[in-house]
């Protein structure tokens, strides 16, 4: 330790003496590793030569007297921790881009440095690749930080151009001066504009139906490498909705309307007018539009207008949480009967939690069962067994410890609040056309489940403007305008019923006892001992 202290004292006093003689006249000679600052890394190099009788590195003989001695040490000490420059060589930003061989590409160069920079082109494209406008030799300084690349119209492939950025310091890297970077350009043949094809669709009146559009693209430009579908005109009678945007209803003020999301080619159509209708669409690939074509829609009459039960038939839907009663639940359906006692809906096994809906003395009634099998029931005050279509709805809300049950029929309302539980869910299937005591006879249509109701209008959002026979607006209310509809039993065929909201399917227990009603027909009316003309509307 004492030897080191002594050595430092010698160096220090030598520095005081010799710097008065030498000063900094030699420049920054002591930066031996060329990192722009004199520090311990340089001292390690200097010390190695100091201990050598024949200097291995003549650069440490700062005063060029043939030896590395105290005079050179004085110069080193004088420059200790001195910076040649606080600047460094500019840091150039490499970049990649693309261009079509029928177009030019303006390249904007970038580099990071504290000083103002002069940009230059350091290399040229090879023969046959293209040229840089106005530059035929390198290096060539630019007036700004841009240049224009003009590809050969037959070339495709990769072009690499080296550029420079100089800080004007006159120093050599890494202390300053010229930094370089690379521009990589992918040259492609001209893109093909996207293309769309005419579409023809057949839909059933009043039933909301998905229509798939048909567009093609070559994947350029990239990005985005994909297309968006654009509605340019609306149907005369039908309504279009965007299923990718919460079933947004597309109106005249929205045209041209871009369907939400890249590559989304589906939209929803509904109409209450039978006949031909049409609308137009195109696509865009991020740079160019396609041609515009028509979607021709053939709206046919809704022949399978309702389900007809004979008292022994029913439809089974596999268990889904959408059918269970929980807080904020609502159900809505249409019925037409002349029998005073009917079983309409069942979502419960032989024991445990669940519910049933029926008609008692001609009035709609809801039965709720808790886990122990205890039952509470709620009945509407007016009869509906008059052979006409009626719209029935039930709403369930829970506010601990009470539950509120609301029954609506054709706009009328019955509300009661009693003690209860918040959840009547179970794993049993949903049965339509039957409950524990009775089956259902005559017609049934448009069963809907909701996840909640409007706070102010309660069930008004699903009724009020709801018409079964003239149901264009009603279908829109059920699927488009009311976004929390979870299920909508609507049209089907053969021995099934299809949910037009979630695509669940119900199955007839026996096609001889429950079937679609496509036309007027006669059947025996057991409730009045005569015959009743029923069927589609």
Whether 250 and 146 map to the same domain: the answer is no
> Cα separation of 118 and 145, whole Å?
8
Whether 179 and 295 map to the same domain: the answer is no
Q: What is the pLDDT of residue 459?
A: 37
* Residue 37 predicted with pLDDT over 80: no
Q: What is the pLDDT of residue 484?
A: 54
206 vs 120 pLDDT, higher one: 120
Q: What is the pLDDT of residue 436?
A: 81
Torsion, Cα 519 522 523 524, to 10 degrees, reads: 160
On whether residue 85 sits in a domain, the answer given is: no
The domain containing residue 226 runs over which residues?
Answer: 196-300
Q: What is the pLDDT of residue 471?
A: 38
Predicted confidence (pLDDT) per residue in 195-230, tens digit: 999 999 998 776 778 899 999 988 877 777 889 999
Burial, 104: exposed, middle or buried (Cβ in 10 Å; 0-12, 13-18, 19+)? middle
Whether 294 and 146 map to the same domain: the answer is no
CA angle 232, 234, 236 (to 5 degrees): 150
Q: At what angle do helices 70-78 and 2-22 cross, to 10 degrees?
A: 80
Q: Are 239 and 249 in contact (CB under 8 A)?
A: yes
Cα 185–chain centre separation: 31
Whether 64 and 49 map to the same domain: the answer is yes
> Cα separation of 505 and 496, whole Å?
7
Whether 481 and 447 map to the same domain: the answer is yes
Whether 153 and 102 map to the same domain: the answer is yes
User: Model's pTM, two decimal places?
Assistant: 0.44
383 phi and psi angles, rounded to 5 deg: -80, 150
Structural domain ending residue among the three candidates 247, 274, 300: 300
Name residues whose C-beta falls within 8 Å of residue 476's C-beta, 6 or more positions apart in sequence: 208, 239, 249, 270
Q: Are 518 and 502 in contact (CB under 8 A)?
A: no
Predicted confidence (pLDDT) per residue in 378-425, tens digit: 999 999 999 887 888 888 888 889 998 988 887 677 889 999 999 999
> Cα separation of 501 and 527, whole Å?
35
Q: CATH code at 170? A: 2.60.40.10
Q: Are 444 and 306 in contact (CB under 8 A)?
A: yes
Q: Are 224 and 217 in contact (CB under 8 A)?
A: no
Whether 179 and 213 map to the same domain: the answer is no
Whether 388 and 521 map to the same domain: the answer is yes
Whether 452 and 527 map to the same domain: the answer is yes
Whether 352 and 284 map to the same domain: the answer is no
Residue by residue, DSSP assigns 66-133 as: SS--HHHHHHHHHTTT-BS-S----EE--EEEEEETTS-EEEE--EE-SS--EEEE---PPTTTEEET
Query: For residue 54, what pLDDT band results from cuts at 50, 70 and 90?
Result: low
On whether residue 254 sits in a domain, the answer given is: yes
Average pLDDT across the chain, whole number:
80
On whether residue 86 sits in a domain, the answer given is: no
On whether residue 131 sits in a domain, the answer given is: yes
Q: CATH code at 258? A: 2.60.40.1860
* Residue 64 predicted with pLDDT over 80: no
On whether residue 352 sits in a domain, the answer given is: yes
On whether residue 320 sits in a domain, the answer given is: yes
> Cα separation of 114 and 26, whole Å?
27
Query: For residue 76, what pLDDT band results from cuts at 50, 70 and 90?
Result: confident
Q: CATH code at 521? A: 2.60.120.200
Cα 108–chain centre separation: 33
Name residues whose C-beta falls within 8 Å of residue 178's C-beta, 6 or more positions apart in sequence: 89, 90, 120, 164, 165, 166
DSSP label at residue 138 = S
Query: For residue 480, what pLDDT band results from cuts at 50, 70 and 90?
Result: very low
Whether 362 and 438 map to the same domain: the answer is yes
Query: For residue 145, what pLDDT band results from cuts at 50, 70 and 90?
Result: very high
Q: How many domains does the chain have?
A: 4
Whether 183 and 214 map to the same domain: the answer is no
Structural domain ending residue among the three candidates 188, 215, 247: 188
Averaged over 164-181, what is the pLDDT? 88
* Residue 476 predicted with pLDDT over 70: no
Q: 3-state class of 381 per DSSP? A: coil
Cα 121–chain centre separation: 43
Q: Which of 53-62, 245-254, 459-468 has the lowest mean pLDDT?
A: 459-468
On whether residue 515 sits in a domain, the answer given is: yes
> Cα separation of 233 and 297, whole Å?
14
Q: What is the pLDDT of residue 83?
A: 61
* Residue 445 predicted with pLDDT over 50: yes
On whether residue 84 sits in a domain, the answer given is: no
Q: What is the CA radius of gyration of the chain?
A: 42
Structural domain ending residue among the three candidates 20, 55, 78: 78
> Cα separation of 369 and 420, whole Å?
10
Half-sphere exposure of 441 (CA within 13 A, CB side): 19
Predicted confidence (pLDDT) per residue in 508-537, tens digit: 998 889 888 753 333 333 333 333 333 332
**Helix, strand, coil shares of the chain as percentages rounded to 5?**
10, 40, 45
């Amino acid at each position: 330790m004492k030897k080191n202290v002594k050595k430092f004292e010698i160096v220090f006093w030598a520095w005081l003496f010799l710097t008065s003689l030498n000063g900094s006249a030699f420049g920054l000679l002591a930066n031996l590793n060329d990192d722009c600052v004199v520090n311990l890394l340089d001292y390690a190099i200097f010390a190695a030569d100091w201990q050598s009788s024949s200097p291995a590195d003549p650069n440490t003989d700062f005063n060029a007297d043939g030896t590395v001695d105290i005079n050179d040490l004085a110069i080193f000490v004088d420059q200790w921790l001195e910076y040649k420059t606080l600047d460094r060589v500019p840091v150039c930003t490499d970049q990649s881009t693309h261009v079509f061989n029928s177009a030019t590409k303006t390249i904007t160069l970038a580099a990071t440095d504290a000083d103002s920079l002069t940009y230059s082109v350091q290399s040229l494209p090879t023969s046959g690749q293209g040229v840089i406008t106005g530059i035929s030799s390198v290096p060539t300084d630019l007036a700004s930080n841009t240049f224009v690349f003009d590809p050969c119209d037959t070339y495709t492939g990769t072009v690499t151009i080296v550029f420079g950025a100089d800080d004007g310091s006159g120093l050599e890297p890494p202390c300053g001066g010229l930094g370089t970077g690379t521009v990589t350009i992918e040259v492609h043949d001209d893109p093909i504009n996207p293309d769309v094809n005419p579409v023809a669709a057949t839909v059933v009146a009043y039933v909301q139906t998905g229509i798939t559009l048909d567009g093609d693209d070559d994947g350029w430009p990239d990005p985005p490498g994909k297309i968006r579908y654009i509605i340019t005109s609306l149907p005369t009678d039908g309504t279009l909705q965007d299923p990718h945007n919460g079933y947004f209803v597309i109106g005249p003020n929205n045209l041209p309307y871009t369907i939400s999301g890249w590559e989304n080619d589906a939209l929803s159509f509904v109409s209450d007018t039978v006949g031909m209708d049409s609308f137009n669409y195109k696509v865009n690939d991020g740079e160019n539009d396609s041609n515009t074509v028509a979607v021709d829609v053939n709206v046919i009459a809704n022949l399978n207008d309702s389900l007809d039960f004979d008292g022994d038939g029913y439809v089974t839907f596999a268990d889904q949480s959408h059918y269970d009663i929980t807080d904020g639940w609502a159900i809505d359906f249409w019925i037409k009967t002349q029998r005073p006692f009917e079983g309409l809906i069942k979502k419960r096994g032989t024991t445990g939690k669940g519910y049933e809906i029926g008609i008692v003395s001609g009035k709609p009634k809801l039965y709720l069962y808790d886990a122990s099998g205890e039952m509470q029931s709620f009945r509407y005050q007016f009869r509906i067994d008059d052979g006409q279509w009626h719209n029935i709805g039930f709403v369930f809300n829970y506010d601990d410890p009470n539950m509120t049950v609301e029954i609506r029929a054709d706009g009328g309302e019955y509300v009661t609040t009693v003690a209860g539980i918040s959840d009547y869910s179970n794993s049993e299937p949903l049965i339509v056309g039957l409950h524990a005591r009775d089956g259902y006879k005559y017609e049934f249509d448009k069963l809907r489940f909701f996840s909640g109701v409007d706070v102010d209008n309660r069930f008004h959002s699903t009724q009020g403007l709801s018409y079964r026979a003239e149901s264009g607006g009603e279908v829109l209310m059920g699927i488009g305008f009311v976004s929390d509809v979870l299920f909508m039993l609507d049209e089907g065929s053969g021995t099934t019923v299809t949910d037009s909201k979630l695509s669940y399917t119900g199955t007839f227990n026996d096609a001889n006892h429950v079937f679609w009603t496509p036309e007027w027909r006669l059947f025996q009316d057991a409730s009045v001992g005569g015959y009743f003309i029923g069927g589609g509307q």
